[in-house]
Structure 1
């Protein structure tokens, strides 16, 4: 048999073999999760690295703040810091090495849970400070030497550390004021330097990236940086200013309650609990676990109601806890022994607890109607977390009954899916105390991918701005979701 008939039979045989392989050797993990982790999020833009220019700021506004923090912490009996010889040596060498043209990061980020969970700017800058020769060929971003060659301009201000230092060591009650507030002085210095630059004036700030992972970061100057790309853990941190300013100011400006998924990026908190691999997982005897503060404000009022509903339910562990060493150990034990981990809204819609649950392979149960999550469009959270409306959760016995209806097979699949995405929520620069490229698949890499998605929108907005006649203002409208 020759000719077309033979060719047809060969093709038929090949397709039959493929079908048999798919039938008897299916993928061991859900297609949706595999696809989402490997997919390129930025369309045409994703075929090349995101080009990033690091704005020139004095070292005192980033790594110098770390030196100041450790110096203050060593003298503060409340902190109880007794740095090892390596850290003491680093403190004395850091400024000198920077002045000689070297750019190593010699100091670790604070381990204090109240600060560490907001450390994204440290890891992002560490990735950009890494030598180009150490970067993976598949890296999502690269640093460029001139702002005109960049897709975005990264502003390397450690805004969260600055705010927390003022709250911890500043004048009592002075954080909300400007006079005598060292954090405000640093905020103003950053804004004055950045907004007077040619790069800012070319784009109106739309292509600049600020990291505001703590609700109090850059609290006094948010109106000035509103056009930029803001990296935030959620939009709840804008609430306090919304009440006071949403009806004030020029109507053409983006207001504080107009942060938007169109231009901004939701990033993960830094997890506080260690990673548990799937091979280390042990039988779980608790149905649902929660450890944290009972009393919260605003949307977090649901937490107190849930507490009262669940505290006496069989198989449920609900307990007051705080982010100290004892609380951390209790949380590790509790999350690793539980099938599900409760994630209700707090003062803002989310917290690091969600990412601690994923790293602990404890299925998150999210009860926060206004939550926004990192890397959506790349990840499908429904593959490894359960979402429940506040209205359903507040019905007597509803939540516990709902969770008990999940079969062992379903729970195991949730945990297998979580194991695939754990690295997505890990911040790493290759060294606990140094500059290094972000590993492929890490939180930093995924942040750059999400920023890359914004580039076409930014370019369009900048081009639209150029055609504006003199004396005409184009509204900075909100595209909220």
Structure 2
């Protein structure tokens, strides 16, 4: 049973697109038109001159329309604002690789009222009770350039490193979706429908407000569902061929009671059929799909990816393992404190960066330097079961050490092998946290005893995964058959819906 929201109905004007009808000329304009006609009749030479000018303008207009669309496409995040980055007209599929890459279907993007996305960006100063989020959401969600990485990453790759916020996926996916090759403006030709609602920003602005009510946290989500109910594709499928990107963890949208944390978006009637792409999923809900947290690396080409892979693969690593985090003094038997003690006992075999007070946030230099120098990086659970740090660690070529299976193996099946380090082609190490807590195992002994050859193979596996863990800075994708995290997600959604249609077709026979 999905509880109904008691949010009052939205204003009707929010559910309608603004009229684009041409206004009727006023009497004043009509008078000017008559005077102009009189002038033409009384001055034939002027009329001929005006005719020539208008003809030239028409020729220029027709010529401009024949210029390929890609010359107008936006190839890097706009420096001015993320809202500008989203306003990109989709290029035809045949202009970018043909229809063969769209065998699983086409995507239709809803043109939502700005209340559900653009207005939230315009109100970036009001999205957080403590500080503005305008800088964090700039550059199409990538944030500002990471100028603190000079001397840490190769100079040729500096323009592709940003201080990206971990909750920016909604903007990043929307911008890329508007230029991806399997896009259609015809709903009848679509097999998947993307809902570009920034629910994470909408709900997030109320999470830490002392005076925020459950109605306020749910209002925009309820308004969206009412708007969708007016759309023919939604009425036809009940949302089963729709998908949405949520930039926060699933638990921020699963409030069961008014006094609980977060919003109740995923428990609202209608959302039970929608596929949701989230940075942390509920392992017991098949509609939730885990996607990588955004990191700071946004390559512009396959060349840049390969250059970065070579850089991290061949880099000497002086530290056996490392940890970026902080102890939680308010939590009894805090496991992070246990790891910090393990690190201290390991001497020069371990380095730690203190992230207390939120100091690590988007500070790329300190944590990236740490991971670049480490063979392994410790990844306990964060405030929830997952951490962005695991992706920062892997992009730096370090091997993650996992202590909760729900932190990785039950989260990102489209992106990471599900084996826990002992099966198949290992990319991580799993160590039972209870054995660490009890002192039955020593991290330095376990990790140091793996041997150089095994560590080298694991690092090669991690480095090979990097392309599918990052979000490219170019709307058309990396090219040359290399998929980034966005490409993997869209392909996964289209195949999921295609397979479902095939199963339903067989069942009807």
| TM-score normalized with structure 1 length | 0.64
| Contact 1:120/1:427 (8 A) holds in 2 | no
Query: Residue 160 of structure 1 corresponds to which residue in structure 2?
Result: 200
**Residue 271 (structure 1) aligned to one of 292, 295, 298:** 295
| Contact 1:300/1:346 (8 A) holds in 2 | no
**Residue 400 (structure 1) aligned to one of 414, 427, 444:** 444
Q: Which has the higher contact order (CA 8 A, sep 6+)?
A: 1
Aligned pair count reads: 358
| Contact 2:415/2:488 (8 A) holds in 1 | no
1:114: Cα distance to partner?
11
Query: Residue 143 of structure 1 corresponds to which residue in structure 2?
Result: 183
1:76: Cα distance to partner?
9.1
Query: Residue 323 of structure 2 corresponds to which residue in structure 1?
Result: 290
CA distance in 2: counterparts of 1:465 and 1:195, whole angstroms: 27
Matches within 5 A, 1:8-407: 48-69=103-124, 72=126, 78-79=131-132, 108-110=141-143, 116-130=165-179, 135=181, 142-167=182-207, 171-174=209-212, 177-178=214-215, 181=216, 183-215=217-249, 216-217=252-253, 219-224=263-268, 225-235=271-281, 258-260=284-286, 263-272=287-296, 276-279=308-311, 281-295=314-328, 301-314=334-347, 315-321=349-355, 322-324=358-360, 327-371=363-407, 372-376=410-414, 379=417, 382-396=425-439, 397-407=441-451
Question: Structure 2: which 5+ residue stretches go unaligned?
Answer: 1-99, 147-161, 255-262, 299-304, 420-424
CA distance in 2: counterparts of 1:402 and 1:348, whole angstroms: 26
CA distance in 2: counterparts of 1:443 and 1:164, whole angstroms: 24
1:273: Cα distance to partner?
6.5
Q: Assess, with a 3 A threshold, how the Cα gap between structure 1 residues 118 and 184 changes in structure 2: closer, same or farther.
A: same
CA distance in 1: counterparts of 2:171 and 2:332, whole angstroms: 29
| Contact 1:369/1:390 (8 A) holds in 2 | no
CA distance in 2: counterparts of 1:292 and 1:319, whole angstroms: 6
Q: Assess, with a 3 A threshold, how the Cα gap between structure 1 residues 325 and 277 changes in structure 2: closer, same or farther.
A: same
CA distance in 1: counterparts of 2:133 and 2:416, whole angstroms: 41
2:494 pairs with 1:452: yes
**1:163 partner SS:** helix
2:464 pairs with 1:420: yes
Question: Structure 1: which 5+ residue stretches go unaligned?
Answer: 1-44, 88-105, 136-141, 237-256, 431-435, 468-481
| CA displacement 1:232-281 (0-9 Å, x = unmatched) | 22235xxxxxxxxxxxxxxxxxxxx8412xx4321110014688543355
CA distance in 1: counterparts of 2:333 and 2:426, whole angstroms: 25
Once structures 1 and 2 are overlaid, which stretch shifts more, 143-152 or 282-291? 143-152
1:355: Cα distance to partner?
0.7
1:49: Cα distance to partner?
4.3
1:404: Cα distance to partner?
0.6
1:409: Cα distance to partner?
2.1
| TM-score normalized with structure 2 length | 0.61
| CA displacement 1:45-96 (0-9 Å, x = unmatched) | 9871431111231123223322221x558x999449789xxx8xxxxxxxxx
| Contact 1:206/1:458 (8 A) holds in 2 | no
CA distance in 2: counterparts of 1:343 and 1:404, whole angstroms: 17
